[in-house]
Structure 1
């Protein structure tokens, strides 16, 4: 023991060595400060700190950003859907709310920024947290903020998280999203540069939709086939999307059909007004910020943009109206959407930006649309929404009056053969009172008035 202690350096030797080392470190720092730019120094120190943290920390962190490679990150959405299902005593704060004015029995739960939630899965202890960062330049999806979820786990569990835990989250989220109670309708806000959403509570369903029964059945079958054919679309090399064109006179139920489709499939709606889009590049940016399992709705496309028509048609219309084509062209600072840009997002390379999507166009004047927009592959299903037939009237009578037959139906049937009346007009007449006989008699008088007007116009 004495020999061991005798071999130890003296205190003065230790202090001398420490002083020499300190002087060397100070000299190195001075040289580094004088010779290496600050940006490079910061980079070196950050890498050095990360290396120390990696080797000495037992934890690993997964970062799930809100967007991924310029599109909405499905993993982020899956985590956002999954976490409220595991909220328990481990959460230190929660956001709660309701979309209904009624007292909610089960308010919606959301994760606030900074909240930490622990989860246990197959023996692993996992910790989630939501982070919010300010970005120097905002984009159409974040309005200046960037959100991300952080998942902390043990380094030894990293591969297991990738192999089993994340697939578990995807599966749970898919089940929840397919049965979600609240749908949303999003509209693009040009001034704010992003989608703004509201709860979608439209009551229309296929059961209440006033439409030709045969056409309705065909659409339902088409939709059910579409959502079940993911493998088919992958096998044939096509994007998992479907294009619809709804056309017909105003008031024939085009918007109600869109609502019925959304309610049946449980798809959110992105309502895009093309006149609010300034260029093809902005259109691409807008579309990539939409989510899977959604409907992109472009209403009144014949009015929304002249890109939906060819130049010959535009020139003929302008000549009839006495307009100069140069007066109608968009300014160089706001060029608008071109026909090629519109076509590229319907079936070009940019149409493959997501899965399980419906693109629905509506118009009152199909004849005004360019033929290139209507070809197969861009419009997969052409749906004509016509005037009210007797079969459609019977559906409306069943919905509004809760009757399947009445002795006045034969008179109504004959009158509907002579005049054109929209389902919206019929619905308005059937809502006028609660007295059945009076409603039907009033409706007959309404139809007779239309017959009289038709005869006067013909004469």
Structure 2
């Protein structure tokens, strides 16, 4: 019976199959043409997307996570974690790798690795197979001009495990990488490109080599250690996890060197911002929210950086004597007013100050009295540190660093002169660098300070003579006026 049934069953010929395929293809093309002419483009895209989702839901066994570089107007910390983690997972299955370094001080340094766009990286974690791909797209209307995102593909059955165990594992590993940075970067804002440009930061300054009073150094180190360890405390009291420092004093007293020592101690990147390069408050927010956690925002010579940082009475009376408050409010939208005081303070201590964690904000100035009092109150600048002239203790640190000695017969002479002649650490260092021989270098320093003392005394004498001359001129002028008045009366 079975053989008879098999004999009656006839398979279609090849020609009939080809004929059916041609007829079906023609019918499909006719239907597609009708749909393209009858339905608008958005409707067609909607139908295609729904059909793709339907096929993916019922037939696909994979799931894709998308991790973009920006999240709610700030840097996506998950993206940063993946960016640091993935180069450590590049293996034999990775067919492309990005190499390079920006250490201009050491051109022979081994290159660092990164993941190029559209390259695939495969990872295995707790029996799960995971595939990563980096994508890039140019954005003409928004900041920044290029957006990046990672796509993580995994099995549907592993979706929950990826969320609960794999991604937290990546964040922990990335945190270890951030905590043990071998290379620090210093970033500067490129106004033309509307982005931060970076280079390797290799300043040799440390707290051991810093020419400061030991007690002052210890206070700074203790303050930094306390800040780093108090994340939960800042959260419990409802404050942003940040710390503000104001370094003020005469030029050449080591303000920039202290910033370098802080960066090396904490292993924090530096974002060096010139307020003149920022057009307005809106751009300032974009610039500052593009900085990363565990970083230092540095604004040097803030008294010279912007009109917004000067006392408001000074700005109103001297800089805009003919401009009323109403005229200020009525500036045209396309007139870039620059960074305002409120815009700057809003990031330091306002709502925008919460856009980031573990940040150090440092302002430097040569003239603290020129700053608006609103910038100086607690909560904005938490630590006010005066960087003064060189002290005997600071001199000994410099001598040990530049000359490699702890004691010398000229030390007492130098320290006595230093008590009378204000001398900056930069001036001391300049004299100590003139010779590798301690005797010659110290004699040069003594001669420099004596010359400075002599010039100071001469300046005082000239000042006294000028006062006497002015008094005599004034007296003679008054006598002449009196004589003329007498003649008029006669």
Structure number, greater radius of gyration: 2
The answer on whether the counterparts of 2:73 and 2:289 sit within 8 Å (CA) in structure 1 is: yes
Contact 2:311–2:370 under 8 Å retained in 1: no
Q: Which runs of 4+ in 1 moved over 6 A?
A: 2-8, 14-28
Partner of 2:57: 54
Contact 1:302 1:308 (C-alpha < 8 Å) held by counterparts:
yes
How far has the Cα of 1:114 moved from its partner?
2.1
> What is the deviation of 1:25?
6.8
Aligned with 2:454: secondary structure? helix
2:388 aligns with 386
Q: Residues 290-320 of structure 1, C-alpha deviation per residue, up to 9 Å, x if partnerless?
A: 110001111111111111123311244449x
Mapped to 1, the partners of 2:30 and 2:92 lie a distance apart of: 53
Secondary structure (helix, strand or coil) at the match of 1:109 reads strand
> Which residue of the partner structure matches residue 74 of structure 1?
77
Structure 1 residue 343, shift from structure 2 partner: 1.1
Structure 2 residue runs without a partner (length 5+): 462-490
Q: Match for residue 193 of structure 1? A: 194
Q: Which of 103, 120, 126 is 1:122 aligned to?
A: 126
Give runs of aligned pairs for residues 27-426 of structure 1, distance below 5 A: 29=32, 32-98=35-101, 99=103, 101=106, 103-104=108-109, 106-139=110-143, 141=144, 143=145, 145-318=146-319, 332-426=334-428
Aligned ranges 1:7-18 → 2 under 5 Å? none
Residues paired across the two proteins, number: 450
Q: Distance in 2 between matches of 1:200 and 1:192?
A: 21
Cα distance in 2 for partners of 1:161, 1:378 equals: 41
TM-score (normalised: structure 1): 0.91
Contact 1:114 1:130 in 2 (8 A): yes
Deviations 1:371-423 (A, max 9, x none): 11111111111111001111111111111111121111111111011111110
Deviation for aligned residue 1:148: 1.5
Q: Secondary structure at the match of 2:446?
A: helix
Cα distance in 2 for residues equivalent to 1:18 and 1:176: 59
Matches of 1:95 and 1:50, distance apart in 2? 34
**Does structure 2 conserve the Cα–Cα contact (< 8 Å) formed by 1:318 and 1:325?**
no
What secondary structure sits across from 1:417 in the alignment? Answer: helix
- TM superposition shift of 1:21: 9.0
Larger mean CA deviation between 19-28 and 207-216 belongs to: 19-28
Q: CA deviation at 1:102?
A: 5.3
TM-score normalised over the length of structure 2:
0.85
Deviation at 1:266, TM superposition (A): 0.6
The Cα of 1:33 is off from its aligned counterpart by 3.7
- Cα deviation 1:41-99 (Å, max 9, x = unaligned): 11221221132123211111111111112111111111111111122212111122342
CA distance in 2, matches of 1:87, 1:16: 51
Cα distance in 2 for residues equivalent to 1:325 and 1:458: 41
The 2-side partners of 1:276 and 1:318 are apart by 20
**How many angstroms does 1:20 deviate by?**
11
Alpha-carbon distance, 1:250 to partner: 0.6
Aligned in 2, Cα 1:91/1:33: closer, same or farther, shift over 3 Å? closer
Distance 1:317 1:432, change over 3 A: farther
Distance 1:252 1:325 in 2: 38
Deviation at 1:101, TM superposition (A): 2.7
SS, match of residue 84 in structure 2: helix
Q: 1:36 offset after TM fit, Å?
A: 2.9
Q: 1:109 to 1:275 in 2, by over 3 A?
A: same
> What secondary structure is seen at the aligned counterpart in 1 of 2:161?
helix
Q: Which residue of 2 aligns with 1:442?
A: 444
Q: Distance in 2 between matches of 1:30 and 1:86?
A: 48
SS of the aligned residue for 1:152 comes to strand
Task: Quote the Cα distance in structure 1 between the aligned partners of 2:405 and 2:20.
Answer: 102
CA RMSD after TM alignment: 2.8
Structure 2 distance, partners of 1:16, 1:181, is: 69
